[in-house]
Structure formats: C-alpha cells, structure tokens
C-alpha cells in the first residue's frame, strides 16, 4: 500500500460565517431564524417577530450582526454547498468581533464594510447613495474581486 503524499487541490482558508480569530474580543448571541439564513450573511430583526432574525435587505433594517457558521448536522452539507439555517433554527449571530464574509468587489485593508441589500450576502467598501447596509465594520483583509473571502471586524 502506497501513502498519498500530494494533493491536487488546496482547501479553502475559511468559509463565509466562520469565526476569524478565536482570541479576539467578540460578542455572539443566539436568535431564532425567521426564514432561511445562509452563513456569513447580515441579519436584522424580523418585522413580524422581534424574537427572530432574517437576512437584512434594506438600509432601514435593524442590523444585529452576521450569521456565524455552526457545527450542526441539520444546517449544512459541505458536499452540496447547502449551508443555511431554516425557520426557527437557533442562529448564532456575531455583533462584535472578526468573521469571514464574501466581498462584492475589490477591497482594501482598513476600509469601511457595508452589506449589499440584495440578499446576496456580499460586502462592499462603498455606500453609494446610502443604499447599502452600514455594519459599523472594517475590512481586515484585501481582495481583488467579487466572491472572494475576506475578514471583517464588527465594532
């Protein structure tokens, strides 16, 4: 039997919603999902139930944080890429700390981070016309284009 010593692929550094640093000061609270919520998405208080959160889709939403990855068998399937919480699932939401998200374009370290209000779960360094969701966060990494993993720090 021969051992496999080389691999043809590099594993990802992280996935959206993964806690970026275990030693940084952070705040994570539990909420109930008011609908399907993917990992690494901005969430806000539901307009129909103040005890539930939903994906934030408007700058006027009451932003509470970013949905965090959880090791629960019923919420993700790494093989198919289906990673989300269902209605009334317990959702860990980070309101302070560092978390991995997807960029909406090129970003630089230290720039302000805003969530796009289109439900895509992507984050931008621009708030054109005040239409993006203000997270009071900073990018803690650099990307060259859309759909790339980047760390943000919620303050």
What the block records as the tokens of 135 is: 């997270």
96: which strand partners?
A: 27
Is the entire prediction scored with pTM above 0.75? Answer: yes
Residue position matching structure tokens 């690494």: 40
Question: What is the Cα–Cα distance from 91 to 133, expressed in whole angstroms?
Answer: 20
**CATH number for the domain whose boundaries are 27-154:** 2.40.300.10
Higher pLDDT, 77 or 6: 6
Q: What are the tens digits of pLDDT across the range 59-98?
A: 888 999 999 988 765 655 656 666 788 888 899 999 999 9
- Positions of E strands within 34-128: 37-38, 42-45, 52-55, 63-67, 76-77, 82-85, 90-103, 112-115, 122-124
Given this model, what pLDDT does residue 128 score? 81
What's the chain's average pLDDT? Answer: 87
Given this model, what pLDDT does residue 6 score? 72
For 41-77, b/e burial (b = at least 16 CB within 10 A) is bbbbbbeeeeebbbbbbebebebbbbbbbbeeeebbe
Residue 10 has pLDDT above 90, yes or no: no
* pLDDT (average), residues 122-136: 89
Spell out the residues 6+ positions from residue 123 whose beta carbon is closer than 8 angstroms to its own: 101, 102, 103, 104, 107, 113, 114, 115, 116, 135, 139, 150, 152
């Amino acid at each position: 039997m021969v051992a496999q010593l080389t691999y043809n692929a590099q594993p990802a550094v992280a996935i959206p919603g993964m806690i970026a640093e275990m030693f940084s000061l952070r705040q994570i609270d539990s909420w109930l999902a008011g609908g399907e919520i993917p990992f690494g998405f901005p969430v806000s208080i539901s307009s129909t139930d103040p005890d539930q959160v939903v994906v934030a889709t408007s700058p006027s939403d009451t932003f509470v944080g970013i949905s965090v990855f959880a090791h629960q068998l019923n919420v993700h399937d790494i093989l198919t890429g289906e990673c989300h919480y269902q209605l009334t699932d317990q959702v860990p939401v980070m309101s302070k700390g560092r978390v991995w998200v997807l960029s909406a374009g090129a970003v630089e370290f230290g720039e302000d981070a805003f969530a796009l209000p289109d439900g895509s779960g992507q984050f931008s360094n621009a708030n054109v016309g005040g239409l993006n969701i203000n997270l009071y966060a900073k990018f803690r990494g650099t990307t060259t284009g859309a759909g790339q993993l980047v760390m943000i720090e919620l303050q």
